[in-house]
Structure 1
Amino acid sequence: MLYCIVIWLTNICLQGMRAAKKGMVIDMSYKIVVDSCCELPEEYKKDARFEIVPLGLEVGDYQVMDDETFNQKEFLEKVAAYPGCPKSSCPSPERYREAYHCEAQDVFVVTLSSKLSGSHNSAVLGKNLYHEKYGDKNIYICDSESASCGETHIALKAMELEEAGLSFEEIVKELDAFRDAMHTYFVLDNLETLRKNGRLTGVKALVASTLSIKPVMGAIGGSIVQKGQAIGIKKALTKLADILAKEVVKSEEKVLMITHCNCPERAELIKSMILDKVRVKDALVMDTAGISSMYANDGGIIVTI
């Protein structure tokens, strides 16, 4: 018995030392659950405060979960060789329910736009199932009305507000306001996956009939809209930077986030273009995970601020 107690105390000390070495104290009174379209920075992928609920990916007979096993290079090769359209499947409500089942008092959930995926609806159903099985708990499900780094923005904001000591109710109010003020833009080399999966139904003036014309896209209320267009990818990125500079208010108080699908040089290019026009609090560049890779396709750029 004494031996077990010593081992337990040793493990506790070791955990504390690891946290101290990283210069942080982990607060387990809250948890942030995101679907796998959310690109988390590397330092948070193994953070106990976060849990990624994976969606499924399907390219013909090739099926894979969008989790730590996802291989972007292999996936993009499969997509390029497949004559059909890749598809995704959202997590089950039961999977979300179990993600909420933890010691944390407050659970914040960030999902893909409900206009683009059933992930949000599954998260809501999972909340209902949780209450039926386990009882009351503070669970807030935020429809990001975006994707990719748009979800990242909201997830990290939830962490920031929790660490600042705000109440659950205050954080919910702040997150809604933060989401409503966020801007999402993207330029893709290939819009076929979005089109074939019915995600461009609200885009009336889409002129991507030739490879040279690149639409600059955005999101309003979670639906995809066209913001502009240009001939060639570089001019389209320049157009994106111009539109962002005109639309964003108080940029110096905001974080610029960029996700790219297998094109780090292009991501750095749009970053420099934007920073030449506006000042920001910080800038973060990440590579896309599975779902974002499917919709952005090879060479796609997504920007949120």
Structure 2
Amino acid sequence: MANIAIVTDSTAYLPEEMVKKENVTVVPLSVIFGDTAYEEETELSADAFYEMLQKQEELPTTSQPPLGKFVDVYESLANDYEAVISIHLSSGISGTYQTALTAGEAVDGIEVYGFDSEISCMPQGYYVMEASRMAEEGADIDDILQRLNDMKKTTDAYFIVDSLHHLHRGGRLTGAEALVGSLLQIKPVLHFEDKQIVPFEKVRTEKKALKRVLDLFDQAASIHGSLRATVIHANRPEKAETVKQKMQEKHPNLTIDVSCFGGVIGTHLGEGSIGIGWCSF
């Protein structure tokens, strides 16, 4: 039975207790303001990112971890572990997963098994939490990967973008589209499809958009029963808590977390965004 380590990247935005677990290692992506790159979570917290974002005229950019970072992590883990399950944000929006696989092939003394979460943020983190738990209980690689693939069947997330101006600045909307959409109070609802973040619906007003996403969650809960959910926010903790309370009142037996869009994902969605994600647990 292999002694298994779990590796993920910073876009899982794991709670602190998971980051401190002995068998979990987090490899950071970076946010770049001007000529300065910051590793998110370690050098740039979510709060610090949004504070900097408000002061900048130009949007930051993001970058995946360098190959050498993964090589160093795997070589270090080889001292204590026989195998690694490396769980990463969707390969459709970042090359991080492929870089992790390439690094695994370059390291001797430890077997690296990649898992493409096909999603990001706390739903990605749920895979990490489950893999870590199973590894600690002595499950083997095949059982853990099978469980993660089973979880994929019920994992979903929807994001409500607050600012069309932000999408325009990022080159995702023309100026005319952003202007008209803002005048009409359009709130795009996005989700992951075929590993990429794509439009799901355009809804007028945030209230209606949130109701739409909550209805989707209610449908999933009625079908799958035991789900774990998270409300994800981009610098809107009070709103996230309000949404969580509303969900908890309707589903008192479910575990519902509050998590954040950190710097990397926040760069692409924009401050003020709200998301809801879930999976079977």
Instruction: Identify the TM-score tier after normalising by the shorter chain.
Output: 0.7 to 0.9
Q: Is the CA contact (8 Å cut-off) linking 1:252 and 1:280 kept in structure 2? A: no
Relative to structure 2, which stretch is displaced further, 277-286 or 146-155?
277-286
Deviations 1:54-94 (A, max 9, x none): 11111223431113221434422332333333211111122
CA distance in 1, matches of 2:191, 2:114: 23
SS of 2:275's equivalent in the other structure is strand
Q: 1:83 aligns with which of 57, 60, 69?
A: 57
Deviations 1:236-280 (A, max 9, x none): 211110122224554432211222221111112222333344465
1:118 matched to which residue of 2? 95
1:16 matched to which residue of 2? none
SS of 2:6's equivalent in the other structure is strand
Please state if 1:173 is matched with 2:146: yes
Q: Is the CA contact (8 Å cut-off) linking 1:138 and 1:168 kept in structure 2? A: no
Q: Is the CA contact (8 Å cut-off) linking 1:238 and 1:273 kept in structure 2? A: no
1:182 matched to which residue of 2? 155
2:130 matched to which residue of 1? 157
Relative to structure 2, which stretch is displaced further, 139-148 or 265-274?
265-274
Change (3 A) 1:195 1:220: farther
- If the length of structure 2 is used for normalisation, what is the TM-score? 0.84
Q: Is the CA contact (8 Å cut-off) linking 2:13 and 2:261 kept in structure 1? A: yes
Q: Following superposition of structure 1 onto structure 2, how do residues 63-102 of structure 1 map, counting pairs within 5 Å?
A: 63-101=37-75, 102=77
CA distance in 2, matches of 1:104, 1:288: 31
Change (3 A) 1:45 1:195: farther
Please state if 1:30 is matched with 2:7: no
1:127 shift after superposition: 1.0
Please state if 1:108 is matched with 2:82: no
Q: 2:106 aligns with which of 129, 134, 138?
A: 129
SS of 2:182's equivalent in the other structure is coil
Structure 2 gap ranges (5+): none
- If the length of structure 1 is used for normalisation, what is the TM-score? 0.78
Please state if 1:234 is matched with 2:207: yes
SS of 1:37's equivalent in the other structure is helix
Q: Is the CA contact (8 Å cut-off) linking 1:241 and 1:270 kept in structure 2? A: no
Change (3 A) 1:151 1:194: farther
CA distance in 2, matches of 1:241, 1:207: 27
Q: Is the CA contact (8 Å cut-off) linking 1:251 and 1:281 kept in structure 2? A: no
CA distance in 1, matches of 2:243, 2:270: 17
Aligned AA (2:7):
V
Aligned AA (1:106):
A
Q: Is the CA contact (8 Å cut-off) linking 1:30 and 1:104 kept in structure 2? A: yes
1:198 shift after superposition: 7.0
Change (3 A) 1:48 1:187: same
Relative to structure 2, which stretch is displaced further, 31-40 or 209-218?
209-218
CA distance in 1, matches of 2:172, 2:146: 29
Q: 2:262 aligns with which of 286, 289, 292?
A: 289
- How high is the sequence identity, in percent, across the aligned residues? 26
1:195 shift after superposition: 6.5
Aligned AA (1:215):
P
Which has the higher Rg, Structure 1 or Structure 2? 1
Change (3 A) 1:221 1:181: farther
Structure 1 gap ranges (5+): 1-27
1:49 matched to which residue of 2? 23
CA distance in 2, matches of 1:197, 1:139: 35
CA RMSD of the aligned region, Å? 2.8
Change (3 A) 1:55 1:37: same
Q: Is the CA contact (8 Å cut-off) linking 2:231 and 2:276 kept in structure 1? A: yes
